[in-house]
């Protein structure tokens, strides 16, 4: 992970970090034995940051255990305990992007409109291309001409092939052609962009299922990934979205975008734990550098550390 991404992640998480750290420092300003009142206040802080009930409960239980041993805890101690617990929760479910034994690895990208699907595809394509992979992009969001053009801009920028049809054509037919083209060109990856808004004539979930069926018909294991792109600023609503998409097309990984614009970055933990789906990438800005594979350690440090450590703005004040 590049140092610039870590410092972007760290500054992107500033709002969430303040929402967690400031109240904890106030709560544990003096070293103290944990009582039920402190636990209740801590619980409210963690829930507020959208960490989710399960993770919050796990942290509170750990705190209660040290309280019952009569141990005294200060702010640093409390943060260290939360850090450990979150890394362990997130670490249970990390997985890198799949890679098929027989290329192309097919990655279908889904999510409600405006969450950052097309932008994330561009950034993932850029990363994969830098690693020496051949990448084909499928413009299977045929709802708007602008959507197709937007993907073509990313194709030009990253040197990746884009397979497109006319606006309004069948998205599954685009996916089919793109799969054939990716095979013929010896592509390592095929990234399939999809629509996010409901069409007037067809149902979005039915459309996504059809795209998936058409791809599976060409290769049993494909799509190898169904990445759901969620906008972190939507908070708990992101979980509801994930449930709907997961039921329809079976989500294998989450891309969480716009962490830079929210105080609710804790939603990463809630999604990972409550849906048992690994977070594969996080986005902290609009630049091509601002999306990277998810690292639990880095993320939790960004969430809880008052300075960015050796990789970022060393010694910077929160
Ligand atoms: N601040 C910030 N903006 C982002 C991030 N990711 C994407 N965006 C912006 O979000 C907006 C929507 O991104 P798109 O990639 O077009 O979203 P989409 O899901 O493809 O949208 P539809 O095709 O309409 O369904 C764009 O302006 C992006 O630049 C991020 O991590 N941080
Ligand atoms: Mg799009």
Q: From first to last of its 318 residues, what are the pLDDT tens digits of the chain?
A: 566 777 888 888 888 899 899 999 999 988 788 899 999 999 999 998 889 999 999 999 999 998 889 888 999 999 999 999 999 999 888 889 999 999 999 999 999 999 999 999 999 999 999 999 999 999 999 988 899 999 999 999 999 999 999 999 999 999 999 999 999 999 999 999 999 976 555 689 999 999 999 999 999 999 999 999 999 998 888 888 999 999 999 999 999 999 888 888 888 899 888 888 999 999 988 888 889 899 999 999 988 987 765 444 444 433
Report the pLDDT value the prediction gives residue 144, as an integer from 0 to 100: 84
- Structure-token pair, residue 240: 């509801």
Q: What is the whole-number distance in angstroms between the Cα of residue 101 and the centre of ligand 1?
A: 31
- Report the alpha-carbon angle 56-114-108, nearest 5: 85
Q: What is the whole-number distance in angstroms between the Cα of residue 207 and the centre of ligand 1?
A: 21
Q: What is the whole-number distance in angstroms between the Cα of residue 112 and the centre of ligand 2?
A: 9
| Ligand 1 pocket member 225 (CB < 6 A) | no
Report the pLDDT value the prediction gives residue 308, as an integer from 0 to 100: 63
| Ligand 1 pocket member 233 (CB < 6 A) | no
| Ligand 1 pocket member 283 (CB < 6 A) | yes
Q: What is the whole-number distance in angstroms between the Cα of residue 213 and the centre of ligand 2?
A: 21
Nearest-CA residue for ligand 1 atom 6 is 116
Whole-angstrom distance, CA of residue 141 vs CA of residue 164: 9
Which three-class secondary structure state does DSSP give residue 42? helix
Ligand nearest to the CA of 139: 2
Question: In the 8-state DSSP scheme, what is residue 20?
Answer: H
| Ligand 1 pocket member 284 (CB < 6 A) | yes
| Ligand 1 pocket member 146 (CB < 6 A) | no
| Ligand 1 pocket member 117 (CB < 6 A) | yes
Report the pLDDT value the prediction gives residue 307, as an integer from 0 to 100: 73
Report the pLDDT value the prediction gives residue 318, as an integer from 0 to 100: 38
Q: What is the whole-number distance in angstroms between the Cα of residue 242 and the centre of ligand 1?
A: 17
Report the pLDDT value the prediction gives residue 198, as an integer from 0 to 100: 65
Report the pLDDT value the prediction gives residue 315, as an integer from 0 to 100: 40
State pTM to two decimals.
0.90
- From 5, 119, 157, the mutation candidate for ligand 1 (largest count of ligand atoms within 8 A of CB) is 119
Which residue, among 156, 157, 194, 159, has the nearest Cα to 174 in the 3D structure? Answer: 194
Q: What is the whole-number distance in angstroms between the Cα of residue 286 and the centre of ligand 1?
A: 8
The dihedral formed by the CA atoms of 164, 165, 167 and 168, expressed in degrees to the nearest 10: -120
Q: Which residue intervals of the chain are DSSP H helices?
A: 3-12, 14-27, 36-48, 53-68, 75-91, 117-130, 145-158, 171-184, 204-218, 237-249, 267-275, 296-304
């Amino acid at each position: 992970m590049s140092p610039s991404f870590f410092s972007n992640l760290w500054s992107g998480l500033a709002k969430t970090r303040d929402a967690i750290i400031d109240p904890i420092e106030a709560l544990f300003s003096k070293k103290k034995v944990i009582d039920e009142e402190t636990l209740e206040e801590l619980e409210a802080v963690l829930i507020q940051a959208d960490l989710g009930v399960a993770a919050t409960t796990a942290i509170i239980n750990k705190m209660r255990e040290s309280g019952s041993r009569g141990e005294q805890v200060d702010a640093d101690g409390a943060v260290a305990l939360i850090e450990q617990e979150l890394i362990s929760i997130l670490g249970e479910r990390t997985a890198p992007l799949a890679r098929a034994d027989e290329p192309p690895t097919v990655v279908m990208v889904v999510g409600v409109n405006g969450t950052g699907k097309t932008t994330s595809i561009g950034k993932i394509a850029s990363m994969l291309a830098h690693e020496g992979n051949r990448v084909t992009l499928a413009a299977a969001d045929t709802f708007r001409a602008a959507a197709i053009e937007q993907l073509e801009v990313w194709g030009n920028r990253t040197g990746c092939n884009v397979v497109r049809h006319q606006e309004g054509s069948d998205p599954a037919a685009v996916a089919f052609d793109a799969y054939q083209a990716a095979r013929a060109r010896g592509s390592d990856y095929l990234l399939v962009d999809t629509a996010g808004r409901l069409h007037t004539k067809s149902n979005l979930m039915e459309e996504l299922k059809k795209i998936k069926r058409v791809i599976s018909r060409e290769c049993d294991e494909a799509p190898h990934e169904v990445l759901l792109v969620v906008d972190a600023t939507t908070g708990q609503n992101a979980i509801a979205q994930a449930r709907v998409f997961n039921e329809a097309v079976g989500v294998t990984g989450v891309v969480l975008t716009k962490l830079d614009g929210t105080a609710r970055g804790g939603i990463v933990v809630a999604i990972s734990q409550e849906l048992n789906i690994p977070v594969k990438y996080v986005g902290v800005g609009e630049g091509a550098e601002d999306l990277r594979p998810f690292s639990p350690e880095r993320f939790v440090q960004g969430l809880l550390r008052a300075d960015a450590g050796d990789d970022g703005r060393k010694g910077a004040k929160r």
